[in-house]
Amino acid sequence: MLRRYLNYLCILIVLLTVGVTGAYAESTPGILDSYAAASLDASPNYKAISKVKPSEPAVTKVRPGIMSRFEGLSRFNPANWGGECILPAPAKGQFTTGPWVWFGTIKGEARRGVGGPNATPGSKVDFHDNLGFGQNATTIWGFDAKYQLRPRFGLRYSFMPMKMESKYTTPASFTFANQLFASGTLIESKWERYQHRAGVTFNLSNNPSSRTSIFAEWMYLQDKLHISSAVGGATTPVVWDDTRNVAVVGAEFDKCLKNFHGNSLNLSCKADVLFLNDCFGFDAETALNYMIPIKTGRFGFIKGGYRYSYFQKDNTRDLFDTSIGGVFIQVGFLF
């Protein structure tokens, strides 16, 4: 229960940070220089100089506008914090890429019916209690790549394969795809997931110390769940292979915290929501990103933080509900 509350708190912090930044980004007005010009009469006829007492300036009362009352809120805009800090950002034609490792704790449940849409669904299968998944943190790896197509537009791609296997004696019976698995039976399970994401990103604001962007992606997700048990020497396997195409929209915020000796320590936050095809989910992460210059305009980086991902497919016959939360580490290059 405490872990669930920590996950929700992390997601809330990310969403609030991105929301405040998007609302007030680039709200500081620019400073316009004023210039004055004077002309001299070069006539040879000079006149006597007389002292003139300047008139007292008229006092005009101006009622402050409504927007002036909100100028004090600019100090709460994270994009304005630490304006002297410089955030390394990809220029046009540059890549940001690198692999990552995620040490996640997995929870979930599944239900699979057989027949038409009105078929009687089976019982829910708990990944932890019935199949033995999630007893320990699982190591998941993936790969991210971004290409800055224009000063504000970019392309994104990510790939995440995952595979888990378990041998577990289930303490309670359950039904999956009309197949009964009795209590006390040794269950052999395997769960495979392949996730591809590709899309575009747009920079809402890009100042020397921070960057706020939004993105839209298409995601292809494939889940394979194998469940089998040995009963009287015979193996009865059940395989559920399900693929989905869903839409993803989200926002990302990067903020420079400290520059020293050419290096940069940055805060990186990201959150997104996925939907379509009876699916719903969200993904949020908060991390610190340490960037080291290699050449002019090129950097290596190491990033680490916490990530939480939730996904659900639910209809009258099938259910697939999973959540993964844990720390992650990524290394890569901006070149």
pLDDT, tens digit, 9 for 90 and up, residues 233-254: 555 689 999 999 999 999 999 9
Task: Give 105-155 pLDDT, tens digit per residue.
Answer: 999 999 988 766 555 667 889 999 999 998 788 999 999 999 999 999 999
144 touches 97 (CB < 8 A) = yes
CA 160 to chain centre: 15
CB 247 within 8 A of CB 276: yes
- Joined tokens for residue 43: 């006539």
Q: Which of 72-76, 104-108, 211-215, 311-315 has the lowest mean pLDDT?
A: 72-76
Span 57-66, average pLDDT: 55
Q: Would you say the C-alpha torsion 298, 302, 306, 307 has a positive or negative sign?
A: positive
| Closest by Cα among 88, 43, 69 to 256 | 88
The boundaries of the domain holding residue 131 are 95-334
- Within a domain: 111: yes
Residue at 123 is within a domain: yes
pLDDT at 97 over 80: yes
What CATH number is attached to the domain comprising 180? 2.40.128
Q: What integer pLDDT is reported at residue 224 of this predicted model? A: 95
Is it the case that residue 331 has pLDDT exceeding 70?
yes
What residue type is 80 in one-letter code? N
Q: Are 124 and 110 in contact (CB under 8 A)?
A: yes
Residue 232 lies in a domain: yes
> Which region holds residue 310: left if phi is over 0, alpha if psi is between -120 and 50, else beta?
beta
Is 75 within the bounds of a domain? Answer: no
As for how many domains the chain has, the answer is 1
Please report whether residue 256 resides in a domain: yes
Q: How far, in Å, CA of 138 to CA of 153, rounded? A: 35
- Sign for the pseudo-dihedral over CA of 113, 318, 308, 10: negative
Q: How far apart are CA 25 and CA 18, in angstroms?
A: 10
**pLDDT at residue 185, rounded to an integer:** 87
pLDDT of the residue at 52: 56
Q: Which of 107, 143, 91, 88 is closest to 293 using CA atoms?
A: 88
If you search the block for the tokens 């999630």, which residue do you land on?
A: 134
Percent of the chain topping pLDDT 90? 57
The mean pLDDT of 93-110, rounded to a whole number, is 96
Between CA 281 and CA 308 the distance in angstroms is 11
Sorted by sequence, the CB contacts under 8 Å of residue 37 that are 6+ apart come out as none
User: If 0-12 CB within 10 Å is exposed, 13-18 middle and 19+ buried, where does residue 98 land?
Assistant: middle
Q: Is the pLDDT assigned to residue 222 strictly greater than 90?
A: yes
**Which of 144, 185, 137 has the alpha carbon at shortest distance from 164?**
137
The pTM assigned to this predicted structure is 0.75
Structure-model confidence comparison of residues 134 and 88, the more confident one? 88
Residue 62 is predicted with a pLDDT of 53
270 pLDDT exceeds 50?
yes
Q: For residue 57, is it within any domain? A: no
Q: Is residue 1 part of a domain?
A: no
The percent of residues above 70 in pLDDT, for the chain, comes to 71
Backbone dihedral angles phi then psi of residue 29, each to the nearest 5 degrees: -70, 155
The verdict on residue 268 lying in a domain is yes
What is the residue-averaged pLDDT of the chain? Answer: 81
3-state secondary structure 200-239: EEEEEEEECCEEEEEEEEEEEEEEEEEEEEEECCEECCEE
Give the mean model confidence (pLDDT) for residues 300-322.
Answer: 94
